[in-house]
Amino acid sequence: SAVISQKPSRDICQRGTSLTIQCQVDSQVTMMFWYRQQPGQSLTLIATANQGSEATYESGFVIDKFPISRPNLTFSTLTVSNMSPEDSSIYLCSVEVGTVNTEAFFGQGTRLTVV
Residues at the site binding other proteins, with contacts judged by CB under 8 A: 4, 33, 35, 42-45, 48, 92, 94, 100-101, 103-109
Nearer to other proteins, 109 or 114 (CB): 109
Choose between 14 and 42: whose C-beta lies nearer to other proteins. 42
Q: What is the DSSP string of the chain?
A: ---EEEE-SEEEE-TT--EEEEEEESS--SEEEEEEE-TTS-EEEEEEEPTTS--EEPTT--TTTS-EEEEETTEEEEEE-S--GGG-EEEEEEEE-SSSSS-EEE---EEEEE-
Q: How far is the CB of 16 from other proteins (least distance, A)?
A: 28
* Least separation in angstroms between CB 43 and other proteins: 4
Q: Select 31 or 81, whichever has its Cβ closest to other proteins.
A: 31
Kindly state the smallest distance separating residue 6's Cβ from other proteins, in Å. 9
- 94 beta partners: 33, 106
Nearest CB to other proteins, comparing residues 31 and 73: 31
